[in-house]
Structure 1
């Protein structure tokens, strides 16, 4: 048997992100091939379970909506004549909800339809898993004379260079035209150099507006960190730190944070962690508005 494997050149550094073993149909699979097959099946089973769970949650919400305010004819953990309140229904498992028999025949019919739908989805998912298992169990069609093929996928880091294409999460993309030493980059009044320069002709037509707003949000986060660092160096009071942190966390943005529950020591630790910048999260299409970014700046 001839080994005609390709080999990675010496000196190559990378991270193995995937290994695939293909065995000719009819040959016994080795331990590694069986382990990979089992991992793939486990991952697929997990995905299918999550898919079915989504259907179950949707069905549960719909059943609670249908039964709320109805009278029960028994079934499940309820008795004939029980009033089906939201509190009662929300504490029941999906199996118990499906066993309830409402007095309204129309709603009872819709509940049976939901039950049939869930059974069909469960059977469909079982069938998908069985098909996947069958495909993995059968051997692979390889070229004549080849008994086994092993593919190892490497992720290799590369230094960015002119001509490389970069993309953001806003659908924006562009090509790197030049890379300069940091001392040759434009800088602000304080001598802080900029990280990247965009060609102004490529901003509006190439979906970079969202990226620019996000970049300004990053600038605001860095500036807030510098202000916190300055307050710590000046040994400002804990009360002043609390007021400033409250403005950041609770005056701008959606989620509110209970900073009053933190002790003075915890506030100092939090402020110390924010010296280099305040972490901010924003969705892609419904992100921070210009007015909110200006407020942070």
Structure 2
């Protein structure tokens, strides 16, 4: 029986026979994947541990678990052996933890094994069960604030979408009666002034004063029309109105509503505009776009001042009838590479682990 031998792979210099020489050298396209995964290993995991840490006990008073440092151990098999044995090319992730007992003021440190992380090859691929795989980057809609318009009887009625990196969407719209509504996480709509009351602007006089310099159309008065449609008249009623739209059927009280809204919008674990989202938001409203302004966790949640800026812009657009944003424009989209995609799945796993602990 004849034996077939694989010929050794030889590298040859690429020859160009075109009449016009190459204008520029081809870029290293795989570097995008390698750089993204390197960011995940060096910075992405660190961000996740800082979000989760400390994990508190059920009561929240006695025990606290801190994730302090981590490292990747040596892989069990190298890339070539992983192919031959049909196993995954991976390395153990080990984390240095610290358990603090507040009751007796004791601390215990221990290194734990958290799982195996696939390693990227120099070609930007992964070896999964002996098969070479690649994670395809996603082209997604960027986080931030986008202003839209619907045409009715030849006139534009403007709205907005606040898209966070993590958390509930806010969708604003103006109806033909000049009332501005908002939907929270695609639930039933509520008057935007109810949301303003829930965010800390309780009475009609204060709301009217905030927008008096922008709501100046001689015929169409948007805030006045919205207040007339608003069932709420104070902060507690505003909280309850918003709660009834988010949790229809549940018993609505001011305390329940305040707790829910605080956790949905003012808790970084549940709501995050992201660095890109905060940068685009600040750029739109001519605010500070420095690294310190967009990277701080406290700045990446939505504030009541942000809500006022959005409503003011909707009113301005309704008056001026300017062009709305093109949500399909590539400037309003971004690439999510392998590091960010794996970080999002890693975050889900850490959240499950936190609940189990």
Q: If the TM-score is normalised by the length of the shorter chain, which range does it land in? A: under 0.3
Q: Please, what TM-score do these two structures have when normalized by structure 2?
A: 0.24
Which is greater in Rg? 1
More helix by share: 1
User: Which structure: greater strand fraction?
Assistant: 2
TM-score by length of 1: 0.27
